[in-house]
Each structure stands twice: as C-alpha cells, then as structure tokens.
Amino acid sequence: MSFVEYGDTIKDGDTAIVFLGHESMFPVKVQHGTVTQTKYGVIRHSTDLIGKKYGSKVTCSKGGWVFILHPTPELWTMNLPHRTQILYSTDISIITMMLELKPGSIVCESGTGSGSLSHALIRTVAPTGHLYTVEFHQQRAEKAQEEFREHGVEHLVTVTNQDVCKNGFGVSNIADAVFLDIPSPWEAIGHAKSALKAEGGRICSFSPCIEQVQRTCLAMEEYGFTEINTLEILLRVYNVRTISLQIPDLGKAAEDNSSAGFDSSNPSNQGSPCANLQQGTVQFKSGVPLREMVGHTGYLTFATKS
C-alpha cells in the first residue's frame, strides 16, 4: 500500500479507510489478529480485510456493513489524527496549482504539522520529485516520519527537525517551490530564497492574520521577490432542495395572458409549475446555501523569485 500508488488488495500493515458514510469514516492500520469496533459490529482484520480488494463491502458482526477504501491524500486530510491545525482541500488545491507543481518538482515545506499538505505535495511531485519538510517540534517531526514510512512514501520525503527561521531548509538552489506555514514567515523569507532555484521559483506563505501578511509581503519585497499577491479562498456549499414560492400578483393583464396561454385540461401541462396556479404557490428545485459554513481559514500569499 502506498499513498502515491494504488494497490488492488488489502495487505497486513496497510493503512485503510473504513467508510461508514460521507460524514463518518476513520483510518485503521490493518494487522493480522486485530479487530476494529464499529457501530455496526466488529471487523476482524484477518478474515474480513486481509486479502480482500479495496472498495469491498464488508459485513460487520451485527449485520451492518462498511466499505474499505484505499487511502488518498484527500481521505487522509479528512481522517488524520490532528497534532496541529491543518490545511484542507480548498486551500491545498490552490496551493499546488499556484506553486506550479508537477511530477519531478522539488518542494520545501515548513512546518510539517499533522502532514495534511505534505501528503498532497508528495502525491503531486511523485514519482521523481522530492519534498523537504522542516518541523520545529521534535515529537511531531518523529510522528510525521513514522507516518510517511507506514504510508509507503518515505523515499519521496526528507523530514528535518530544526528551526527554519534560524537554520533554513538544509538545501540550497534546488527547490522549485517553497511553502511556509509558521507563526513568523517573514523571518524565513531569506532562507526560502536560498533554497529556491536560481530564478523562477515560487513561494507561498499561509497566515491567518492580515498583520502577518503585511510583514511577509514587506520581507518578500526586501529580498527581491516579484508578482506578490494574496488570496483568500472561501468555500460556499449549496444544498439542492425543493422550495415553494408564492406566485406574484402581476395584475389583470397578466392573468388574462396566463389563462390564454395555458390549458389545464391538456395532460402535458399537468406537471408544469402553472398547474399550481390555483394554490397560489409554485414549487421548483433550487440551490440553497448552508446556514452555517466554514468561513475564514487563512490568507495565501504567493510570489516569484526574480
């Protein structure tokens, strides 16, 4: 099993996603002789998982069933154990596009955190690229290294435990892109410039506060970066539902035109909105935004090395 290569069957030691529903799923490490409890009953790894195909429908001990999915960076973002605040697919998608990443790219990242963005970057630059990720916190760096090894991507990533603002990324003039998600990114702009290739490399800084963005932009200008721009990505989700609205009173002329052009005895008109004229309302499908949704996550500042 690897997060960058699809495997057909579930093997001992794999990380799999147990899918109970769109709002209910969790990761599990497949181990011979182990069981996993769900609300639908027990899943026995030896008989229910190992040797089965990914995507299989597995019946639990109480008669309910779940799907076992192959892990992807998107599924891992939704299910990973949180050690820090993480980036979600909304921001990750624009980061990978605006940094112009592709297979073979060299990327520097700080900090690693929970590894949400790291997995997406690794999948994007595989199979010939590489990610150099720096984490200040020793335990988080060690846990990230362990996860990369379990997920079959350790050959594509180098994890370093150090302060990027003082010691940099440990590489020079090779990176196609640099990503910063640290409290004071302006202190690491000089090291980011040193890590980037001679010209044309891209940099992105993620900051939740506009004051951080201002100081980062000033530092980018000081170090000669160009094309500096800041984005805020806001996701608005719509539900498709049937809604009812009252038919407006448009006056006698509109009523005459409506009755002249509509024959209620014609069977082909029975299902049309005009069939509800007598009730004074009309029903139709419409997209309705959610009452509550995720608002501001952070500002993404991009620039190019001149």
pLDDT value of residue 267 = 54
Task: Say if residue 114 carries a ligand binding annotation.
Answer: yes
Q: Is residue 154 pLDDT above 50, yes or no?
A: yes
Helices (H), the chain: 73-79, 89-98, 116-125, 138-150, 164-167, 189-195, 210-222, 252-261
The upper half-sphere exposure of residue 7, i.e. CA atoms within 13 Å in the direction of its Cβ, equals: 21
Percent above pLDDT 90 for the chain: 75
Contact 77, 147 (CB under 8 A): no
CB-CB contact of 129 with 98 (8 Å): no
Banded model confidence at residue 276, pLDDT cuts 50, 70, 90: very low
Which domains, ranges and CATH numbers included, belong to the chain?
9-71 (3.10.330.20), 75-234+295-305 (3.40.50.150)
Residue that the structure tokens 């998107």 belong to: 74
Q: Is 201 annotated as a binding residue?
A: no
Backbone angles phi, psi at 253, to 5 degrees: -65, -40
Under the banding of pLDDT at 50, 70 and 90, the label for residue 249 is confident
- Average pLDDT in the 211-235 region? 96
In the structure encoding, which two tokens stand for residue 211, read together?
């004051």
Beta partners for residue 133, in sequence order:
109, 159
Which of 86-95, 173-182, 229-238, 282-291 bottoms out in mean pLDDT, i.e. has the lowest? 282-291
Distance in angstroms (rounded) separating the CA atoms of residues 266 and 284:
21
Quick one: pLDDT at residue 266? 56
Give phi and psi for 137, each to the nearest 5: -85, 125
Mean pLDDT for the stretch of residues 172-187: 97
Least confident of 16-25, 71-80, 113-122, 248-257: 248-257
Q: Which two tokens stand for residue 13?
A: 């030691």
Do you find a cis peptide bond into 111, omega within 30 degrees of 0? Answer: yes
Sign of the CA dihedral with 19 first, then 24, 27, and 31 last: negative
Helix (H, G, I), strand (E, B) or coil at 144: helix
Residue 48 marked in a binding site = no
**117 marked as binding residue:** yes
Structural Rg of the chain based on CA atoms: 26
HSE at residue 123, side-chain half, CA atoms within 13 A, is 21
User: For the segment 32-67, what is each residue's pLDDT rounded down to a tens digit?
Assistant: 999 999 999 999 999 999 999 999 999 999 989 999
Q: Is 196 annotated as a binding residue?
A: no
Q: What average pLDDT is seen over the chain?
A: 90
Strands across the sheet containing 225-231? 157-161, 130-135, 106-110, 177-180, 202-207, 299-305, 225-231
pTM reported for the whole predicted model? 0.84
Beta-bridge mates of residue 106: 130
Mean pLDDT, range 2-29, rounded to an integer: 93
Stretch 65-81: mean pLDDT, rounded?
A: 96
The response to whether 135 counts as a known ligand-binding position is: yes
150 in a labelled binding site:
no
Does 12 or 253 have the greater pLDDT score? 12
Residue 284 pLDDT grade (very low, low, confident, very high; cuts 50, 70, 90): confident
* C-alpha span between 146 and 162 (Å, rounded): 17
pLDDT tens for 195-219 read 999 989 999 999 999 999 999 999 9
Any idea what the Cα angle at residue 95 is, between residues 90 and 101, rounded to 5°? 130
Average of pLDDT values for 87-105? 96
